[in-house]
């Protein structure tokens, strides 16, 4: 395992931090939170120009061909800036399915425009049962006359309204042997019978939608990978996306910690900065410890993801269970340290708390991941 970042990786981080500081201040985040789709074309173009949409896509398909570690570095900075819009759904979710499951022709068709920022995409996996395991996939796709017909409803689909392509994780086999018989389909968002409805959610910087399929026709050549073999691919993408989300969460926790420390150094009470008192120092020290430990877990997991190693699921679950608790705690403490002020709409502290609460349940809460760890290590 590599324990330090290379010069190139440090440069990527610095460029990402500087770019987002200027191009994605919280003023823009707030503006997009109040907009219809929470998406800025200008910000998207900036990310395209930075090469981020093609960061982990091989050069043969128009990308930069870097590894998951570089992606995690950029995601950490995105989490720090609370970047809204469809980068995560397009690159970290759909991009990785397309990388892992497509043939050369499909890569030309979807991966090349995705790398150049011309195609936005997402993945529709979760349903009303809210489960993240294979047993939660009940939306069905039937094979009929050389094509597939999808029926059912997906929930919590990120950025579906602005996606050109929705990758649907559907069941083509029986519920017995739940991991068998799941197939991945690339579906045009404008396909007849497909309806996208916005969901009212806590974190308006990340839009979630209900996607309904009613007799949606998908040609057989829009199947990604083998029919019935989709779960293995989706599970690995799920693990990598979980690690990517954790990287964002660490960036958010760092932003909340910085905000709290700066306030405690500048707010004067009883003639001294309030940060000179141990009651706040101890709180800040706990926040630092949690942020740093989460960061270590995430970097280790990102390195494992870059190597496609066998313990990917274990590392993803370790990172997510720890980061869930850390991000929630740090953002909660950030509000406490700001006294009553951090709770007000005008202060940015609540934006991070809402992200932390929403991220906590995305891709599984800490209990889900701790149970998964127990199973994976044979407890």
Complex with ligand FAD: residue 73 or 349, whichever CB lies closer? 349
The number of angstroms, rounded, from the C-alpha of 295 to the middle of its chain's C-alpha atoms is: 16
Q: Are 99 and 172 in contact (CB under 8 A)?
A: no
Name the DSSP class of 107: I
Taking the CA atoms of residue 250, residue 251, residue 255 and residue 260 in that order, the dihedral angle to the nearest 10 degrees is 10
Helix residue spans in 51-168 (DSSP H): 68-81, 87, 95-101, 104-106, 112-115
Complex with ligand FAD: residue 195 or 269, whichever CB lies closer? 269
The strand pair at 268-269 and 165-171 is best described as: unpaired
Least separation, in Å, of the C-beta of 49 and ligand FAD? 40
Which residues, other chains included, contact 343 with Cβ-Cβ below 8 Å and sequence gap of 6+?
Answer: 335, 349, 350
Complex with ligand FAD: residue 219 or 339, whichever CB lies closer? 339
Complex with ligand FAD: residue 243 or 280, whichever CB lies closer? 280
Complex with ligand FAD: residue 146 or 271, whichever CB lies closer? 271
Complex with ligand FAD: residue 340 or 378, whichever CB lies closer? 340
Between CA 372 and CA 369 the distance in angstroms is: 5
Least separation, in Å, of the C-beta of 330 and ligand FAD? 14
Least separation, in Å, of the C-beta of 371 and ligand FAD? 35
Least separation, in Å, of the C-beta of 297 and ligand FAD? 28
Name the DSSP class of 110: I
Least separation, in Å, of the C-beta of 227 and ligand FAD? 56
Within 10 angstroms of residue 280's Cβ, the number of other Cβ atoms is 21
Least separation, in Å, of the C-beta of 264 and ligand FAD? 7
Q: Are 114 and 99 in contact (CB under 8 A)?
A: no
Q: Are 163 and 89 in contact (CB under 8 A)?
A: yes
Summarize as ranges the residues that interact with ligand FAD (CB under 6 A).
Answer: 267, 269-270, 274, 277, 279-280, 336-337, 339-341, 343-344
């Amino acid at each position: 395992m590599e324990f330090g970042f290379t010069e190139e990786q440090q440069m990527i981080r610095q460029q990402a931090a500087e770019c987002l500081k200027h191009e994605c201040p919280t003023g823009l985040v707030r503006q997009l939170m109040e907009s219809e789709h929470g998406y800025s074309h200008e910000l998207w173009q900036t990310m395209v120009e930075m090469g981020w949409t093609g960061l982990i896509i091989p050069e043969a398909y128009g990308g930069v061909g870097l590894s998951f570690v570089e992606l995690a570095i950029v995601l950490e900075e995105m989490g720090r800036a609370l970047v809204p819009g469809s980068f995560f759904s397009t690159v970290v979710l759909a991009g990785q399915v397309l990388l892992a499951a497509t043939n050369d022709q499909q890569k030309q068709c979807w991966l090349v425009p995705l790398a150049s920022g011309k195609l936005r995409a997402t993945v529709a996996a979760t349903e009303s049962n809210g489960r993240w395991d294979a047993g939660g996939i009940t939306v069905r796709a039937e094979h009929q006359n050389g094509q597939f017909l999808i029926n059912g409803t997906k929930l919590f689909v990120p950025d579906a309204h602005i996606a050109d392509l929705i990758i649907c994780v559907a069941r083509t086999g029986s519920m017995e042997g739940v991991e068998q018989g799941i197939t991945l389909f690339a579906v045009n968002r404008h396909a007849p019978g497909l309806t996208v409805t916005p969901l009212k959610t806590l974190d308006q910087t990340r839009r979630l939608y209900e996607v309904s399929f009613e007799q949606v026709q998908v040609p057989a050549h829009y199947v990604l990978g083998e029919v019935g073999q989709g779960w293995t691919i989706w599970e690995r993408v799920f693990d990598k996306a979980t690690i990517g989300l954790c990287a964002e969460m660490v960036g958010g926790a760092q932003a909340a910690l910085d905000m709290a420390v700066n306030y405690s150094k500048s707010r004067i009470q009883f003639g001294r900065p309030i940060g000179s008192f141990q009651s706040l120092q101890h709180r800040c020290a706990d926040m630092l410890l949690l942020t740093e430990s989460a960061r270590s877990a995430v970097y280790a997991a990102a390195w494992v993801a870059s190597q496609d190693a066998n313990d990917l699921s274990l590392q993803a679950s370790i990172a997510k269970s720890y980061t869930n608790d850390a991000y929630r705690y740090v953002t909660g403490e950030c509000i406490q340290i700001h006294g009553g002020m951090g709770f007000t709409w005008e202060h940015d502290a609540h934006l991070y708390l809402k992200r932390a609460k929403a991220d906590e349940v995305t891709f599984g809460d800490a209990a889900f991941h701790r149970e998964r760890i127990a199973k994976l290590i044979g407890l």
